[in-house]
Amino acid sequence: MNDKTEGAEISWFAPICDGDDQLLGLRDDQYKSSWENTSKIIKTADELGYANVLCPSSYQVGQDTLSFVAAMTSITQNINFLAAIRCGELHPPMLARTIATLDHMLKGRLTLNIISSNLPGMQMESLDRYARSREVIQILKQAWTADEINFKGDFYNFQLPTAPVKPYQQNGGPLLYFGGYSEAGVDLCAEFCDVYLMWPDTLKKIKGLIDNMKQKAAHYSREVRFGLRVHVIVRETEREAQEYAHRLISKLDLKLGTEIKNRAQDAQSLGVAMQSELRAISDKDFYAEPNLWTGIGLARSGCGAAIVGNPDQVYQKLKSYMDLGVSAFILSGYPHQKECEHFAKYVLPRFEKTHLPQLMGRVPSSTPVTPLGLASRN
């Protein structure tokens, strides 16, 4: 695998967990996470040529991830769905069955974002959560590649045939994306996952994260690809983009912003703390380095920074991450519909389109011989 790539998987974000607004801190019902609003955004991203869309997961707000993805199958044509799954929420064999069903409905337009957080109403030590996630992933991989699930672990113990859960995608099943910064999380990704997702940071910091993951993956004789989840604000001129960034937080009450952030299940995670550290080193206008603006983190948990500038500046900033080895970007902006259109107009055509599942040989050229595909009924 080359450290530098000519193409990139450019994805958008589905704000299905109450994550959209025109101005941060102003809760306008026009942007709530209803089916009508969010499905329109995804249909737009599909029509404009984005390769993928991240559909996040939350209990407190918004829509159920897998239900939303299932509903989108018949009203989209080309876009891939990166569905977040919180390990432990579903019994692993039934999770495998759900994934297989969705994968066939989408004809291989499915990838998975592995989440290893606490479940709603439950608390578990971090190392135990990662141990549970490790078992869930191993069970899924057996379901996709072996004749039977034969697993004995600390959380799960069973033996089952895999025919009912065979996915549409071949050669290992749907790709696994993973984001995490703890030692246990990095090790989990290095051993089992395909794409390591990072939140925005300085180029120096991103390079360090990539180098560390490469070393960890090499320990398992594996290679991992790299993705960046980041907001964007692109306008015809740098001044327009910067003015829009300033306007985005102009009505923000910091107390309300903190309350909004703390609603997220990941609000106390190491990754969120690192986003706060990035904002702490920023200048008075919240720029951590040229074109990297951290103001969004004042009101949003998770991804807390945006690439801000004119089309050339935004493109070059993304290219600078690509030069470090990033080959997938998950983008968003406020409001999501409008920023999706802006980026598609000014920047998206400059990239050679890449679709990682196809590039990595997971999507078959025709319907596979599976129980939900072309296999004969017994």
**In this structure, is residue 238 part of a structural domain?**
no
pLDDT of 262: 55
pLDDT of 62: 82
Mean pLDDT calculated for residue range 352-378: 95
Stated pTM of the model: 0.93
Rank 28-32, 151-155, 259-263 by mean pLDDT and report only the highest.
151-155
Q: Is the pLDDT of residue 265 over 80?
A: no
Amino acid at the residue 32: K
Q: How many domains does the chain divide into?
A: 1
pLDDT of 60: 78
pLDDT of 4: 37
Work out the pLDDT band at 2, boundaries 50, 70, 90: very low
Q: How many CB atoms lie within 10 A of CB 76?
A: 19
The encoded tokens of residue 351 equal 């990239």
Q: How far is CA 192 from the centre of its chain?
A: 17
Phi and psi, residue 116, nearest 5°: -125, 65
Give long-range contacts, CB 8 A cutoff, 24+ apart: 276-281. Answer: 276/304, 278/200, 278/201, 278/202, 278/205, 278/304, 278/305, 279/304, 279/305
pLDDT of 1: 40
Rank 23-32, 189-198, 270-279 by mean pLDDT and report only the highest.
189-198
Instruction: Indicate the SS3 state at residue 140.
Output: helix
User: CB burial class (10 A; 0-12, 13-18, 19+) of residue 361?
Assistant: exposed
Work out the pLDDT band at 11, boundaries 50, 70, 90: very high
Rounded-to-integer distance, Cα 337 and Cα 38, Å:
9
pLDDT of 264: 53
Q: Which secondary structure element, helix H or strand E, spans residue 234, and what is its range? A: strand 225-234
349 and 315 Cβ atoms separated by less than 8 Å: no
**In this structure, is residue 199 part of a structural domain?**
yes
Q: What is the pLDDT of residues 55-97, one digit of tens each?
A: 999 887 889 999 999 999 999 999 999 999 999 999 999 999 9
DSSP state of 119: P
Work out the pLDDT band at 259, boundaries 50, 70, 90: low
Rounded-to-integer distance, Cα 140 and Cα 133, Å:
11
pLDDT of 293: 97
Please give the residue range of the domain that contains residue 355. Answer: 7-231+325-359
288 and 213 Cβ atoms separated by less than 8 Å: no
Give me the chain's average pLDDT, please: 93
**In this structure, is residue 251 part of a structural domain?**
no
Q: What is the pLDDT of residues 13-33, one digit of tens each?
A: 999 998 899 999 888 999 999
pLDDT of 3: 39
User: CB burial class (10 A; 0-12, 13-18, 19+) of residue 153?
Assistant: middle
Instruction: Report the residue count for the chain.
Output: 378
Q: Is the pLDDT of residue 100 over 50?
A: yes
Q: Is the pLDDT of residue 371 over 90?
A: yes
**217: CATH:** 3.20.20.30
**In this structure, is residue 244 part of a structural domain?**
no
Q: Which secondary structure element, helix H or strand E, spans residue 177, and what is its range? A: strand 176-178
Mean pLDDT calculated for residue range 101-114: 98
Q: Is the pLDDT of residue 260 over 70?
A: no
pLDDT of 122: 85
Q: Is the pLDDT of residue 358 over 80?
A: yes
**In this structure, is residue 300 part of a structural domain?**
no
Work out the pLDDT band at 6, boundaries 50, 70, 90: low
Q: What is the pLDDT of residues 280-291, one digit of tens each?
A: 999 999 999 999
120 and 89 Cβ atoms separated by less than 8 Å: no
**In this structure, is residue 273 part of a structural domain?**
no
